[in-house]
Chains A and B, each alone.
Chain A
Amino acid sequence: MSNLIYYVPLSIILVALILAPLVFAFVISIVRSDYLRSLIIIMIAAVLAISSLILFARVTITHQIIHYAPGLIDWNLLVTIADFGLMAMFIRMGVRRKSALILVFAVIQTIILAWVEFGPKHTEMAYPPIFIDWLSIVMTLIVSIVGSVVAIYSLPYMREHERHQNLTISKQPQFFRTLLLFLGAMNGMVLSGNLLWIYFFWEITTLCSFCLISHDETEESLRNATRALWMNMVGGVGFITGIALIQFNKLPMDASRLLELVRTGNEAHIIALLILPMACLCFAGFTKAAQMPFQSWLLGAMVAPTPVSALLHSSTMVKAGVYLIIRFAPIFRHTALSEMVAIVGAFSFITGAMLAIGQSNAKKVLAYSTISNLGLIIACAGLNTPLALAAAVMLIIFHAVSKGLLFMATGVVDQSIHSKDIEDMQGLWARMPLTSLIMVIGILSMLLPPFGVLIAKLAAIESSIQNPLVMVMLVIGSTLTVVFWTKWMGRMLATNPQADGRKRENLPALYAGTLAFLACGAVILSLFIKPILENLVLPAVANYYNVAGMEMTPTVLSAPWLMIFLVIALSVLAPTFFNHLRSSQIKPAYLCGEQISSRAATAQFLTVADGTAEMTVRSYYFEKVTDESFHVKWVTIVATLLIVILFGAVYLWK
């Protein structure tokens, strides 16, 4: 078996992971048959998942980082041409959307790109552009598995979505084209080492996100997509500036070479040259990961169909931002930049959680929670110790699964009750038992033991102790996180007594399958956190810092997790299965004895003139304290200041 895996040629795996989605993207855009489209998507999903697993197995068995130069044609030239093609598309979009911002940033990028490509080039060895280490593997697995699950989930979702729109021509071909393009581009980005390649794929994801957000072509979605585009193009300008600076300083344009230089060469000299470009790349990462003050594009993105949000928030797009920062984290270790990155991340962590408390729109809560969690990941990258990076990589994995799950479940609920408002989800536990159970599992996996996100968060707190400011923000932020999640779960669970037991729920097979897959994934991954850490996360980090395993195993892992898991599972299962309430034991809620009947399963009570009134309950949203428009204002100002300070610190540090 292991031999078999080894003899699958690397080129085929790469073609399957990067080129196949790109090619099939164009195939699917001309396929008009629902059946054929489903077939292609499921096939591609399977291919992606299997190839990523093979790649993982291969690297695990050989313990070798892969450098690879694809043959046949001059791929570098192809990327260069495609890059300018992309720029032309951006300019066209700027003109079509009449957005001066897009136009300006596109032109700036084109000019800098032209300088990088055609300007004075220093003699440089040609490095193999494909660079695969454990971090790439982690990302590929997430993109290929979670991303594929989202793609499959989109099939029934988009069918239902279009049923409500009365379209004459289905827009599904375009939708799935963009989706596949997105997955291919993400895989391309995480598997390349050449900065220009990374930049190319990075810009494709920007373009894809624009297309997906504007998919419904309502005025609001177009407006929000335009905002997403220009904000991400600000990041693009940062990215290409970083590349130009590296070129200017006559440093290699290759991630693996840069990491190697820092690890072996005369560090101080090289780091001094690299720190400003790195700051630019981090800035690009902030925009893509929707860190404050760039949060508004991700919030605007929720107008898109729910699978888009599931994709953007869990496995692609925002993860590209944190990936970029983590990828280069060891280079700016022990610099002022690192400190500032940690502070910017921690600031987003705490403010994202704070803003989520006041929201009643489920997708908005999820969006703020994503911003918050990405802030945590970036804070870990900024803390920049082996332990912190291990925490960051774990967070990427577990967050992808849980957040994808939550968005997908929200989409299912939305299509059933036609509302995204958490208040409308009241009593969902009785109406949609399966979906709400999955949702509760998803939420619990975001914030409580024994689930992975919490374990990673504890590791993050542990590693933040060297940086008191970040530590305080992480502790307070974690507390705020608990508030909005618990409120949400509480709303779903608030039911009237059901004397006749819970109803069964009929979910379409593809919904039930994908949701159950991710829900089980969240539980099983948490159960096997130790092997995951040892086989996937620690090699990724060890390779970075040249350290042994002990130094980065978080101490929280030494806790008796198996016992904790067992006790919790037992305490949940025992009353579920062995302690059933008889219907005579079920009593209505206490309403001062004023409920209309002692048996009724409603919360109605008698009021004046023998009228009946329904008892209504609602969550606290602390409107006066958590007023969004007010907080967003000062958060934007402070976050902008932090980024200015970041660049100032980098400048002074030199």
Chain B
Amino acid sequence: MEIINIFFVIVIAPVIGGLLFGLDRKLTARLQKRMGPPILQPFYDLFKLFGKGRIASNQFQLISVSVYIACTILSLILLATGQDLLVLLFVLALGHIMLILGGFSVRSPYSQIGSQREILQLMAYEPLLVFMVIGTYLKTGSFLVSNLMTGSYKPLLISLPAFLLTQIIVMAIKLHKSPFDISASHHAHQELVRGIYTEFSGAQLALIEMAHWYELILLMGFIALLWQTNLVIGGLIAFACFLAVILLDNISARLTWKWMIRFAWSFGVGISVANLAAIYILR
């Protein structure tokens, strides 16, 4: 069972993730009255990038990308094998910080500013994720995903409704979607060029892209956990959230980092804490 889960994570997850990103580009194009690229476009991009000649500025970039993707896959494996959610979050954070350091390792104004802002993105979403994990702990008495899945609890969403909202915010921040595309954005260029990704190219960029696919599946997995009794419904909710993030991306403009922090820490943390407080009081 473990082996199947791990296999599923390593092989199937990026396929689904890639397709979802293809869907994202297609939907965004349709919302702008364009034809848009084929759904398989992310895969074409990926294979092409793997086939590019290697250029880099220093050895550390290679290390940072390797740790980034390893940690992302590892955290998805931890989720799939029912491990500790809190540990998972910080393994994910390790990968993310290594990517940021990779961006920092080149003295380019674009990747430097991108990395600085990426720290802020990390700072904005991290507490929201931890609060959600604490919320699940309060309902189930354990950080273990396996415990959550096997125990006979009502769907968590009923008692933790605020976390659906915060997870949408987290997803938008993590995927660099407007209005949170502050450190880099997925399409169209901006004043930061590609922000934190500017100095990565070829296979390194391909690995980062793949890590994003894993990350998307991971985030959707988090949302699916909110309806842990039936993962099909959970998956559908996660998919709906993904569509909501795409819509949000298309109807909003980029805002400043100050606004992002203020929004995530006042609204996001606010509703998280309110929800947790409600559980404490009703307990």
Contacts and interface: CB of A to CB of B under 8 A. Distances in A.
Direct A–B contact present (CB less than 8 angstroms) = yes
Interface of A: 426-427, 429, 448-449, 454, 458, 461-462, 465, 468, 471-472, 475-476, 478-480, 482-483, 486-487, 489-491, 493-498, 555-556, 558-560, 563-564, 567-568, 570-572, 574-576, 579-581, 585-591, 603, 615, 617, 619-620, 625
A496 B107 contact: yes
A494 B112 contact: yes
B150 interface: no
B269 interface: yes
Given A449-B90, A482-B119, A564-B91, A465 B144 contact: no
A355 to B, nearest CB: 15
A559 B142 CA distance: 13
B167 interface: no
Nearest to B73: A567
Contact of B70 (A471, A567, A603): A567
B163 to A, nearest CB: 14
Nearest to A582: B54
B133 to A, nearest CB: 9
Given A567-B71, A568-B67, 7 more contacts: A448-B93, A454-B90, A482-B93, A490-B100, A558-B144, A576-B63, A589-B111
Interface stretch (B15-23, B124-132, B245-253): B124-132
Contacts of A462: 86, 137, 143
A615 B107 contact: yes
Nearest to A447: B97
B135 to A, nearest CB: 10
Interface string B125-169: 011001100100110001110000000000000000000000000
B87 A472 contact: no
Contact of A571 (B55, B59, B67, B198): B67
B179 to A, nearest CB: 20
Contact of A555 (B58, B67, B119, B142): B142
Interface string B68-101: 0111001000100001101100110110010011
B123 interface: yes
A155 to B, nearest CB: 33
B277 A468 contact: yes
A560 B100 CA distance: 26
B1 to A, nearest CB: 15
B56 interface: yes
Given A458-B90, A472-B273, A585 B199 contact: no
The 8 A-B pairs of least Cβ separation, nearest first, read: A490-B104, A589-B108, A571-B70, A575-B62, A559-B87, A493-B105, A617-B112, A559-B84
Contacts of A494: 104-107, 112
Interface of B: 53-60, 62-63, 65-67, 69-71, 74, 78, 83-84, 86-87, 90-91, 93-94, 97, 100-101, 103-113, 115-116, 119-120, 122-123, 126-127, 130-131, 134, 137-138, 142-144, 193, 198-199, 258, 265, 269, 273, 276-277, 280
21 contacts: A449-B87, A462-B143, A465-B138, A471-B134, A478-B126, A479-B122, A479-B123, A489-B101, A489-B104, A493-B60, A495-B106, A497-B57, A555-B142, A571-B70, A575-B62, A575-B66, A576-B63, A587-B55, A588-B57, A617-B109, A619-B116
A475 B194 CA distance: 31
Nearest to B92: A449
B280 A468 contact: yes
A590 B101 CA distance: 17
Contact of B67 (A461, A482, A572, A581): A572
B124 to A, nearest CB: 9
Q: Which secondary structure dominates where chain A touches chain B?
A: helix
A591 B57 CA distance: 13
Nearest to A498: B58
B84 A558 contact: yes
B84 A555 contact: yes
Nearest to B144: A555
A429 B94 contact: no
B127 A475 contact: yes
A559 B84 CA distance: 6
Given A486-B119, A575-B63, A580-B59, A448 B97 contact: yes
B64 to A, nearest CB: 9
Nearest to A464: B134
Contacts of B62: 575, 579, 581
Contact of B71 (A476, A486, A487, A568): A568
B109 A497 contact: no
A491 B113 CA distance: 12
Given A468-B280, A589-B111, A490 B101 contact: yes
A589 B63 contact: no
B67 A448 contact: no
Contacts of B87: 449, 458, 556, 559, 564
A615 B277 contact: no
A568 B68 CA distance: 9
A429 B122 CA distance: 24
Contacts of A495: 58, 105-107
B277 to A, nearest CB: 7
B56 A575 contact: no
Most chain B CB within 10 A, of A454, A482, A498, is at: A482
A342 to B, nearest CB: 16
Most chain A CB within 10 A, of B137, B143, B199, is at: B143
B101 A591 contact: no
Given A462-B143, A495-B105, A581 B71 contact: no
A467 to B, nearest CB: 10
B122 to A, nearest CB: 6
Contacts of A454: 90
B115 A490 contact: yes
Contacts of B112: 490, 494, 617
B134 A465 contact: yes
B107 A482 contact: no
A449 B57 contact: no
Nearest to B97: A486
A434 to B, nearest CB: 15
Contacts of B110: 590
Contacts of B86: 458, 461-462, 556
Contacts of A497: 57-58, 106
A316 to B, nearest CB: 30
A479 B126 contact: yes
A493 B55 contact: no
Contacts of B119: 482-483, 486-487, 620
Nearest to A455: B87
A465 B94 contact: no
A568 B134 contact: no
Contacts of A619: 116
